[in-house]
Amino acid sequence: MRVGLALPHYDCSLAGQNPLSFEVLLHWACTAEDLGFDSVWVSDHLTWDLGKYGGGNERYGVFEALTTLAAVARSTSHIRMGSLVLCEALRPPGVLAKAVAAIDQLSGGRLDIGVGAGWYEPDYLAIGATMGSPRQRVERLDEYISVLRGLLHRSEPFDFAGLHYSVAGATNEPSPVQPKLPLFVGAKGDRMLAMIARHGVGWNTCWAITPEAYKERASALDAACERVDRDPAGIWRSLGLYSLCGENERDLQQRFDRMVATSPAGVLDGMTLDRWRVGRLVGTVQQIAEYAEEWESLGVETIMCGVGAVPFQATTLDDAAILAYALGRSAVTAVEG
């Protein structure tokens, strides 16, 4: 199993650092590489608030996903990097394909790309677009993936005619280093899983889910693959999980208490460690290793760890270090900074 780390890249990502500096973001990426993480990940919004997670509606700044990945590519040497996930509405597929090819070239072929149908309405308002219904967003994403695959996975000119996207004789040169650059979709619903099966791209879900709930969604994806005569084993499966590790139960409680104290206001109000464990990668070193084995037995090939209480928020690099150790990525159990 490969292990990734969600990078802090919002102004609410780290306690006491608003605005977040780009140097700090890159320090996290480079330290993740030093700790043995296989990949680092960023999300995709134009602005951000924590209302969905129990925090306030204050808007926070964010470093743009693709330029951040380009900087990470030039600041690291071997760790992979990816998007979790890019919003379909924010970039025409041809523009995204060009950017992706360039970043894959910059990184020497270390890029993974996740895309999604979008859900955060302020992103749409910021670009003067209408979000549309869930069905409309899924239909747009379906065509979007068709164009992306045509431009990223083919060398000859590509034609596609759809209701939302059309291209004629489109090319993408220079092409990515990776001839089949990994492409996946963030999804949970049946309609999205059916789309993943049709396109044969990877599947991701996050940030809290129990093994039992995951089994049910994985079975739905398997059934969707069978309906279109596609081998379910060919679908790359990744999973994002809030993660917290302690040397023992006492240390785990202390780290959780620190997370509560340093998380954005309102996010963890009334939360206990016992409740936080459910559906998340939370436990002692030994327990984390056992949980990872369970997820791997369910077909998960990559776990993306979020060491915070909301997506792409983080506690400390020390929490990342012991997590890397528990997951067999590093001999280091603590780091400074």
**Percent of the chain topping pLDDT 70:** 99
Query: What average pLDDT does the segment 115-140 reach?
Result: 96
Tokens 């780009």 found at: 22
The Cα 110–Cα 214 span in angstroms is 28
Indicate whether 24 belongs to any domain.
Answer: yes
The Cα 1–Cα 296 span in angstroms is 6
Indicate whether 275 belongs to any domain.
Answer: no
pLDDT tens-digit map of 2-48? 999 999 999 999 999 999 999 999 999 999 999 999 999 999 999 99
DSSP string for 237-283 = EEEEEEEEEESSHHHHHHHHHHHHHHSPTTSSTT--HHHHHTTSEEE
pLDDT tens-digit map of 287-324? 999 999 999 999 999 999 999 999 999 999 999 999 99
Indicate whether 251 belongs to any domain.
Answer: no
Query: What average pLDDT does the segment 163-168 reach?
Result: 96
Q: What domain range includes position 107? A: 8-236
DSSP state of 295: H
Indicate whether 191 belongs to any domain.
Answer: yes
Q: What are phi and psi of 79, to 5 degrees?
A: -70, 145
pLDDT of residue 155: 84
The Cα 285–Cα 324 span in angstroms is 10
Query: What average pLDDT does the segment 102-125 reach?
Result: 97
pLDDT tens-digit map of 209-231? 999 999 999 999 999 999 999 99
Neighbour count for residue 334 (Cβ, 10 Å)? 12
Distances, alpha carbon 134 to alpha carbons 119, 121, 192, 215, 287, in Å: 8, 12, 10, 24, 38
pLDDT tens-digit map of 226-283? 999 999 999 999 999 999 999 999 999 999 999 999 999 999 999 999 999 999 999 9
Cβ-contact 8, 15 below 8 angstroms: no
Residue 25, domain CATH? 3.20.20.30
The Cα 58–Cα 47 span in angstroms is 10
Indicate whether 318 belongs to any domain.
Answer: no
Nearest to 50 by CA among 285, 308, 270: 308
Q: What angle do CA 149, 160, 105 make, to 5 degrees?
A: 35
Nearest to 286 by CA among 330, 249, 319: 249
Q: Has residue 205 got a pLDDT over 70?
A: yes
Can you list the pairs that 102-109 forms with residues at least 24 positions away whose Cβ atoms lie under 8 Å? 102/70, 102/174, 103/66, 103/69, 103/70, 103/73, 104/176, 104/177, 104/178, 104/181, 105/174, 105/176, 105/177, 106/70, 106/73, 106/74, 107/69, 107/73, 107/81, 107/177, 108/177, 109/176, 109/177, 109/178
Confidence of residue 337 (pLDDT cuts 50, 70, 90): low
Q: What are phi and psi of 204, to 5 degrees?
A: -135, 145
Cβ-contact 160, 154 below 8 angstroms: no
Indicate whether 185 belongs to any domain.
Answer: yes
Cβ-contact 82, 39 below 8 angstroms: yes
The Cα 313–Cα 285 span in angstroms is 22
Indicate whether 61 belongs to any domain.
Answer: yes
Indicate whether 282 belongs to any domain.
Answer: no
Domain tally, the chain = 1
